[in-house]
A and B are shown apart, each in its own frame.
Chain A
Amino acid sequence: QKEVEQDPGPLSVPEGAIVSLNCTYSNSAFQYFMWYRQYSRKGPELLMYTYSSGNKEDGRFTAQVDKSSKYISLFIRDSQPSDSATYLCAMSGRTSYDKVIFGPGTSLSVIP
């Protein structure tokens, strides 16, 4: 079993839809949770960063962490064609020597 699993998609939604992207993980020591967006031929950019459980909102994006279920989600409201990209989840442990582990990414297309 991989440490971080993510449905690769592709996921295709109409413009304006609410998008839900999810990751599951196996290591209960993970404390930091991140979401990255990667456009084609570009490097990933950090979208959201949360510590431990709970929700965090930033504009149209909401990150949710459920540590009891080892499950994290990224919600995108009012999706736009410019949201079309690959979304990678990532997570790490509490000590400064723990490495960040990336999920394989979910490809999202938002159709106008």
Chain B
Amino acid sequence: DAGVTQSPTHLIKTRGQHVTLRCSPISGHKSVSWYQQVLGQGPQFIFQYYEKEERGRGNFPDRFSARQFPNYSSELNVNALLLGDSALYLCASSLGQGMNTGELFFGEGSRLTVL
């Protein structure tokens, strides 16, 4: 079975541009979460989607947005890129949300560099 797949794996943007990152969850998983991992730190929560609805948002500016599609895949959009947005963006899927179904399975990530 395929794991969580993310695209693109690497990308370079300049300040002010926007970016769209894509994620396909594990088959049968209905929840997708996005995390930002800056070099040398642990992942930071950005969004959680379950059954195509936003169920949680971390402490990130409105430049960050996301959505989940009927097939449970997801997109993360970041507008007006800043240098500080350079990071590894991780998508994680889970079967559900709560206990015993909320284990996160991560993709390989999308490495974003903003120049």
Decide whether A and B assemble into one complex. Answer: no
